Amino acid sequence: MTGGAPPVRVGIIGASGLAGGDLIRLVVQHPRLRLTFLGGSSSVGRRPSELHPGLRQDLGVSVEAVPDDPDVLAERCDVVFLATPAPASAELAARLADRVPCVIDLSGAFRIRTPALHDRWYPKVSRGPELAERFVYGVPELIGERLAGAPLISLPGCYATAITLGLAPLVLGLGLALRTVVVDGKSGSSGGGLQLRTPDLHPFRSGAIAPYAPTGHRHAAEVGDFLERAEPGRIASLSMSAYGVSHVRGLLTSSYVFTDGDTPDARTLHRAYLRFYKGHRFVRVRRHTETLIPVPDPQAVLGSNYCDIAVEHDPDGDRIVVLAALDNLVKGAAGQAVQALNIRFGLPEEEGLTMQPVMPA
């Protein structure tokens, strides 16, 4: 896309959700995008600022019902974001594919490529195998070339983004064989969306460290499926425990990695991570004690598209510890989606995403 090209026309379906709200925020402040459609069901007729009071009131669009005829959207949009639950995304993607030039899905509907694995973790999400194979999936830093011109894009979940960015230099860069990976993940309440559940009510969430998925988190399966396809046989075992904490935005993953063979020392690991992410402005490789407060810390990335990563070697346990922090609604959802859009349409990858973190928050 050249400097004089018309703006990319953007539609967002799922306007009332938290990820949808951040998508609206990022799209309307992007110099090369124009918001032309907002879709929803329960919020038809409402302005974005009624759903998300932080948005300005004069955006010039209101929520509409999603038209049955996909050609109506194709006439108004160059790209449609699906910020909808996985079952709805699967149905919408089937309707919009081959009609709208680009569909970018933020749900889990098309993340896991292996059919049996998808059916295990998303048993209520029915999708056609041919359609699933057409989706390009992954973190933009790792699949950038495949995003250019792609008509169907599926983005990782928030935890999966942090874990994958944390493990990729070990698997794809150093080529290590990882015998065991154990992930500890802690996320704020916005990770659960707007569903009303008793554990997420303020009297129970405030001050809590709630083990909502001590075993069996689908994002671990997502990471394993992606890395197995990228480098078969490199990870023998990957498991995860997830906890809800009392803050609203942000997550931290701690990946404890045990390798087959010699484990690189801390200096070698840090240099390998710097080398792997050289030129990727949204991944900041940190040293754990380089700042006044220890990093990575979700506080230091809130509101931004950054993922902060630090890697340590524990000689006593002969393990590698990889820490990754990001804002689950930005780098883990809406920001990453706009980043993928930029690459897809030939825009600078950082366009509209240069906002700095808000700290303290």
Active site residues: 158
Both tokens of residue 149? Answer: 């011109």
Beta strands in the chain (DSSP E): 8-13, 33-39, 63-64, 79-82, 102-105, 136-137, 152-154, 178-187, 209-213, 238-245, 251-259, 283-285, 307-314, 319-326
Residue 144, classed as helix, strand or coil, is helix
The answer to whether 79 and 101 are in contact (CB under 8 A) is yes
Report the 10 Å Cβ neighbour count for 252: 22
Both tokens of residue 64? Answer: 């509409």
How many whole angstroms from its chain centre is CA 149?
Answer: 20
CB-based burial label for 280 (10 Å; 0-12, 13-18, 19+): middle
327 closest CA partner among 248, 249, 219? 249
Q: Is 17 left (phi over 0), alpha (psi -120 to 50) or beta?
A: beta
DSSP conformation class of 216: -
Alpha carbon separation from 89 to 10, 132, 147, 180 (Å, rounded): 17, 12, 19, 33
Residue 135, classed as helix, strand or coil, is coil
**List of residues 6+ apart from 241 with CB closer than 8 A:** 182, 183, 184, 185, 211, 213, 214, 215, 217
